[in-house]
Amino acid sequence: MKRRHRKPFLLGLCLAFFGGLLIFSEACNKGSQGGSTDSTTLKIGIMPSVDYLPIAVAQEQGFFKRPIKLVRFSSPMERDAALQTAEVDASVTDYMGAMLLHAKGLPVSLSVACQGSFRLVFGRDDKLTDIPHLRGKHIGLSSNTLIEYATERALVDATGKPFSYTRVEVQKIPIRLEMLRSGELDAAILPEPFASTGQALGLLAIEVPGGLTQGITGLLFQNKALERSDDLRAFVVGYNEAVSFMQSHPRSVWIGALGKLLGITKQQAEQIQLPDYQPVTAPSPEALQPILSWMKEKKLVPQDYTAEGLIVALPQ
């Protein structure tokens, strides 16, 4: 498998995307201060990620009949802190992050399954095109995260036995991508839109094997927010309208919402790989179990923790 050569447009996508991240970060600093005091506004914490696209489309198209405020954050740590301090009512997180908060006794509920998108991105070495080639190589990840879980489960030989590689701790995803580009890393699992940005730089991106990163993100609510049944019903209706709109209209009609979310042009947003978005549904308890087993192996949660009570469906 050959790498794609850099093209001016794709390079422009990359440069524009990183510029968009700077704009996004500045907006985060403003949007994360104070928040709205209006108790009728449902506040949702967001990051530069494709998980949030149905929410962005619903807001742009006016599908939400009750007020929604998107509060921008530049890191998962800031986003989770805002959820814990009631600065936001909900935010998209991966299932591991949700269980970590729930296991600590925080009053949160995982109520909506989201469609995130991750891919395994290789570094500059053209000889690296498949997972077996990564034996002994430098792999970027962050410890005690879903990325570490997926990396450990993905980097195995033909018999399913893990092979050795050098772990390189890199917390921030943009830095992880830059280290792939510079050759400091040989591979790393990246979420969209970072994986597509890597391709814009001429890097190779492949699907993570075994569906390890499919169906592993969701919308996590404060339990207190779940008492607002009318607001939540309006959210569900608006979200589902957005998904139906995206499925029934050409991508060119609604992709501008992603451009606004990431701070890039509509044309550049059209190059990003997107998941198959689905209407609101609660996460499957079975989807949590492989991740939970790994978390117990790592002693990240008590052995008797079961995630019981974490999944609570929204009112329809």
Are the CB atoms for 178 and 170 separated by under 8 Å?
no
At 3, the pLDDT band (50, 70, 90 cuts) reads low
Higher pLDDT, 139 or 17: 139
Question: Which CATH fold would you assign to the domain 32-116+215-297?
Answer: D-Maltodextrin-Binding Protein; domain 2 (3.40.190)
Residue pLDDT, tens place only, 44-70: 998 878 999 999 999 999 999 999 999
Residue pLDDT, tens place only, 107-156: 999 999 999 889 999 999 999 999 999 999 999 999 989 999 999 999 99
- CA-based diameter of the chain, in Å? 56
Higher pLDDT, 316 or 283: 283
- Domain locations in the chain as residue ranges: 32-116+215-297, 118-211
Output the CA angle 199-200-204, nearest 5 degrees. 20
pLDDT at 22 over 50: no
Residue pLDDT, tens place only, 23-51: 444 444 444 333 444 667 999 998 878 99
Cα 234 to Cα 60, 62, 101, 303, distances in angstroms:
15, 12, 26, 38
% helix, strand, coil for the chain, step of 5: 45, 15, 40
Tell me which amino acid residue 170 is.
V
At 287, the pLDDT band (50, 70, 90 cuts) reads very high
Which residue, among 121, 153, 127, has the nearest Cα to 139 in the 3D structure?
121
Look up residue 228 and give its two tokens.
Answer: 């607002």
For residues 211 and 189, give the distance between their C-alpha atoms in angstroms, rounded to a whole number: 13
Could you tell me which residues are beta bridge partners of residue 42?
A: 68
H-type alpha helices, 6-94: 8-31, 53-61, 76-84
pLDDT at 230 over 50: yes
Look up residue 175 and give its two tokens.
Answer: 């830095």
pLDDT at 308: 96
Look up residue 283 and give its two tokens.
Answer: 């996460």
DSSP summary character for residue 231: H
pLDDT at 291 over 60: yes
Q: Please, which residues have CB within 8 angstroms of residue 155's CB and are 6 or more apart in sequence?
A: 131, 134, 139, 162, 163, 165
For residues 98 and 106, give the distance between their C-alpha atoms in angstroms, rounded to a whole number: 10
pLDDT at 47: 80
Q: What is the pTM of this model?
A: 0.85
Could you tell me which residues are beta bridge partners of residue 122?
A: 187
Are the CB atoms for 234 and 315 separated by under 8 Å?
no
For residues 231 and 225, give the distance between their C-alpha atoms in angstroms, rounded to a whole number: 9
Question: Which CATH fold would you assign to the domain 118-211?
Answer: D-Maltodextrin-Binding Protein; domain 2 (3.40.190)
Question: In the predicted model, what is the mean pLDDT of residues 215-224?
Answer: 95
DSSP summary character for residue 65: S
Give the whole-number percent of the chain exceeding pLDDT 90.
69
Residue pLDDT, tens place only, 160-209: 999 999 999 998 889 999 999 999 999 999 998 899 999 989 999 999 99
pLDDT at 276: 93
Same fold, 32-116+215-297 and 118-211: yes
Are the CB atoms for 95 and 291 separated by under 8 Å?
yes
Are the CB atoms for 215 and 112 separated by under 8 Å?
no
Which residue, among 147, 140, 118, has the nearest Cα to 275 in the 3D structure?
118
DSSP summary character for residue 311: B
pLDDT at 88 over 90: yes
pLDDT at 132: 97
